[in-house]
């Protein structure tokens, strides 16, 4: 197995969120935010830590082209494009939809373009078969003489998850007696890695609706990361923040985003980190997280995705306070 390839400056900051803590009914000194949104590559976010390991493996195999899949607003795809730019490698992103679906596109697609990535539009594709489509794209690239390396959906392999074992170690060092680490659950590698460092009891995942069986996905990855049998039943996963579905704005998420922005000047996104915060807030309301328990919110990034989310953009602009003077 290969070494990781460093893509940023470590460790990321741990900041208190005193005003938000008090707004939620916690004590001011026991709610923290781990700023993985500030990771200094390509706009930041959790995917960089996973890419350090998968890209390290790609380099070890002599690859010259990184290939990955996701939704058109995938933060993972954008950061794969940035990593490729940093390393002088070609990047091919495999997205569902057609080139027309990019028209009027914004957010992550803008950055994919700036980083010089190519996009293969796969048409109407069942999400379950995107991996096979990407394998096919690799085959076509090989026929053209390229040496492609396929990074799985979300970078969530046991190898990629190692980046979050390291992040979990940082969290334990920065907040030694942490009792809850709250994180968005998408493709599962981030939560699985944290479990590798912190155990099942301390990690609370908030499902975002990116996969159909999130507990099974995280259990399988955690089992490989830890080398012991981690069962789906032992995991702390909240399923209550998916709402109408992955790409759709969920009302409690809009509230969590504006509460956090107004209390701390911190921006969350409607697909992942906003859902995680809405889940944290629900956990406090229900007594799953109580005062006098140190809690870390892992900020996984996603700001470009906010600007690519038309519903959230429209709602926010419509709610803008205007003042006038006569
Ligand atoms: C991908 C992503 C997540 C979820 O991480 P997984 O490892 O896929 O579960 C959370 N937040 C943001 C902003 C992401 O882009």
Mean pLDDT of 265-290: 98
Residue 71 sits at φ, ψ, to 5 deg, of -75, 165
Given ligand 1 and candidates 44, 112, 187, 222, which is best to mutate, with the most ligand atoms within 8 Å of its CB? 187
Is the pLDDT score of 283 beyond 90?
yes
Q: Is the dihedral of CA 106, 108, 112, 114 positive or negative?
A: positive
For the Cβ of 184 lying below 6 angstroms from any atom of ligand 1, the answer is yes
In a domain, 174, yes or no: yes
- Summarised one tens digit per residue, pLDDT across range 54-90 is 999 999 999 999 999 999 999 999 999 999 999 999 9
For the Cβ of 160 lying below 6 angstroms from any atom of ligand 1, the answer is no
For the Cβ of 43 lying below 6 angstroms from any atom of ligand 1, the answer is no
Assess whether 256 and 246 both reside in one domain.
yes
Is the pLDDT score of 105 beyond 90?
no
Assess whether 138 and 264 both reside in one domain.
no
Assess whether 123 and 163 both reside in one domain.
no
Mean pLDDT of 254-282: 98
Mean pLDDT of 264-282: 98
Cα separation, 52 vs 103, in Å, equals 32
Cα separation, 238 vs 16, in Å, equals 24
Residue 288: count other Cβ atoms within 10 Å of its Cβ. Answer: 15
Assess whether 264 and 169 both reside in one domain.
yes
Helices (H) and strands (E) in the chain, counts: 12, 10
- Summarised one tens digit per residue, pLDDT across range 146-200 is 999 999 999 999 999 999 999 999 999 999 999 999 999 999 999 999 999 999 9
Tell which of 127, 155, 183 closes a domain: 155
Residue 65 bridge partners (DSSP): 90, 148
Mean pLDDT of 103-118: 92
Residue 78 confidence (pLDDT): 98
The confidence band for 99, taking pLDDT boundaries of 50, 70 and 90, is confident
| The ligand 1 atom nearest the CA atom of 50 | 7
Tell which of 155, 175, 206 closes a domain: 155
For the Cβ of 76 lying below 6 angstroms from any atom of ligand 1, the answer is yes
Token pair recorded at residue 271 = 């697909």
- CA of 121 relative to ligand 1 center, distance in Å: 22
| The ligand 1 atom nearest the CA atom of 164 | 7
Assess whether 141 and 240 both reside in one domain.
no
Cα separation, 155 vs 48, in Å, equals 9
Assess whether 81 and 61 both reside in one domain.
yes
Question: Above pLDDT 90, what percent of the chain?
Answer: 94
Assess whether 209 and 178 both reside in one domain.
yes
- CA of 186 relative to ligand 1 center, distance in Å: 5
Assess whether 113 and 137 both reside in one domain.
yes
In a domain, 324, yes or no: no
- Summarised one tens digit per residue, pLDDT across range 289-298 is 999 999 999 9
Mean pLDDT, all residues of the chain: 96
For the Cβ of 45 lying below 6 angstroms from any atom of ligand 1, the answer is yes
Assess whether 164 and 273 both reside in one domain.
yes
CA dihedral 301, 56, 69, 129 (to 10 degrees): -130
Is the pLDDT score of 209 beyond 90?
yes
Given ligand 1 and candidates 272, 276, 305, 307, which is best to mutate, with the most ligand atoms within 8 Å of its CB? 272
Cα separation, 55 vs 4, in Å, equals 7
Token pair recorded at residue 107 = 């957010």
Residue 188: count other Cβ atoms within 10 Å of its Cβ. Answer: 27
| The ligand 1 atom nearest the CA atom of 205 | 9
The separation between CA 167 and the C-alpha centre of its own chain, rounded to angstroms, equals 13
- CA of 322 relative to ligand 1 center, distance in Å: 34
Domain total for the chain? 2
Cα separation, 195 vs 41, in Å, equals 25
In a domain, 274, yes or no: yes
Is the pLDDT score of 103 beyond 80?
no
Assess whether 29 and 103 both reside in one domain.
no
For the Cβ of 190 lying below 6 angstroms from any atom of ligand 1, the answer is yes
Q: What is the DSSP letter of 122?
A: -
Mean pLDDT of 44-53: 98
Question: Which residues are known to be catalytic?
Answer: 74
Is the model more confident about 3 or about 17?
Answer: 17
In a domain, 107, yes or no: yes
Tell which of 131, 155, 179 closes a domain: 155
The CATH number given to whatever domain includes residue 193 is: 3.40.50.1100
Is the pLDDT score of 1 beyond 70?
no
Q: pTM for this one? A: 0.97
Cα separation, 195 vs 15, in Å, equals 22
- CA of 47 relative to ligand 1 center, distance in Å: 7
Q: Which among 228, 226, 225, 188 is positioned nearest to 205, based on CA atoms?
A: 188
Is the pLDDT score of 104 beyond 80?
no
Assess whether 189 and 229 both reside in one domain.
yes
Q: Which structural domain range is residue 25 located in?
A: 14-44+157-318
The confidence band for 2, taking pLDDT boundaries of 50, 70 and 90, is low
């Amino acid at each position: 197995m290969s070494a990781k390839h460093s893509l940023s400056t470590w460790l990321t900051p741990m900041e208190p969120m005193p005003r938000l803590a008090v707004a939620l009914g916690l004590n001011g000194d026991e709610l923290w935010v781990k700023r993985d949104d500030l990771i200094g590559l390509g706009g930041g976010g959790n995917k960089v830590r996973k890419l350090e390991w998968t890209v390290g493996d790609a380099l070890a195999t002599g690859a010259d082209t990184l290939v990955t899949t996701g939704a058109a607003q995938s933060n993972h795809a954008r950061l794969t494009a940035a990593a490729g730019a940093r390393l002088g490698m070609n990047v091919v992103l495999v997205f569902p939809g057609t080139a027309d679906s990019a028209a009027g596109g914004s957010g992550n697609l803008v950055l994919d373009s700036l980083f010089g990535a190519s996009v293969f539009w796969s048409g109407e594709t069942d999400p379950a078969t995107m991996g096979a489509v990407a394998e096919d794209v690799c085959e076509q690239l090989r026929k053209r003489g390229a040496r492609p390396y396929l990074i799985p959906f979300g970078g969530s392999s046991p190898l990629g998850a190692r980046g979050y074992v390291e992040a979990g170690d940082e969290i334990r060092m920065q907040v030694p007696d942490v009792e809850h680490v709250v994180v968005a659950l998408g493709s599962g590698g981030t939560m699985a890695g944290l479990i590798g460092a912190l155990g099942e009891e301390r990690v609370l995942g908030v499902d975002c609706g990116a996969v159909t069986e999130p507990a099974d996905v995280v259990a399988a990855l955690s089992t490989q990361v830890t080398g012991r049998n981690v069962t789906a039943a032992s995991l702390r996963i909240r399923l209550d923040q998916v709402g109408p579905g992955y790409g759709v704005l969920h009302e409690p998420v809009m509230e969590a985003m504006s509460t956090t922005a107004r209390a701390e000047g911190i921006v969350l996104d409607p697909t992942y980190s906003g859902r995680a915060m809405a889940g944290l807030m629900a956990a406090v309301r229900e007594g799953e997280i109580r005062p006098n328990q140190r809690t870390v919110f892992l900020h996984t990034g996603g700001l470009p995705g906010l600007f690519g989310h038309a519903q959230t953009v429209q709602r926010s602009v419509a709610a803008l306070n205007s003042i006038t003077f006569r």
